[in-house]
Amino acid sequence: MAKKKITLRDICYYRSGDKGDISNIGLMAKDEKAYKIIKKEVTPERIKAHFKDWVKGDVIIYPMDNLQSLEIMLYQALGGGATKTLRIDQTGKAMGNALSRMEIEVDES
């Protein structure tokens, strides 16, 4: 079957914030089909590769099947946290937007 590239923003809503030097991103699928896709395609390894050196620690994903959502924790992702970092986005509010631009391949159907 033929594949096409899409971005996560095509099939998900997102929201992000911080807890110290941890960025948390909520990724909410727009429908059940989208949830199956993100649950399979959005992995810690792919997220680390997408953010490159922005995320220095672990990436942990907590699936929430009842909400068709993923809670994603990015450790050592904010340059020390809001009170220590020199980054413009001190509280990680743009991290969800950045993740939403990650490309994945899906079946064309």
Domain containing residue 9:
3-103
Q: What is the pLDDT of residues 16-29, one digit of tens each?
A: 998 888 999 999 99
User: Has residue 89 got a pLDDT over 90?
Assistant: no
Give me the CATH number covering residue 75.
3.30.70
Q: What is the pLDDT of residues 41-85, one digit of tens each?
A: 999 999 999 999 999 999 999 999 999 999 999 999 887 766 776
Question: Helix/strand/coil (H, E, C) string of the chain?
Answer: CCEEEEEHHHCEEEEEEEECCEEEEEEEECCHHHHHHHHHHCCHHHHHHHHHHHCCCCEEEEEEHHHCEEEEEECCCCCCCCCCCCCCCCCCCCHHHHHHCCEEEEECC
- Residue 44 lies inside a defined structural domain of this protein: yes
pLDDT given at position 88: 65
- Residue 109 lies inside a defined structural domain of this protein: no
Residue type, 25: I
- Residue 82 lies inside a defined structural domain of this protein: yes
- Residue 53 lies inside a defined structural domain of this protein: yes
- How many structural domains comprise the chain? 1
- Residue 87 lies inside a defined structural domain of this protein: yes
Assessment of whether the complete model's pTM goes beyond 0.85: yes
Name the percent of the chain lying above pLDDT 70. Answer: 88
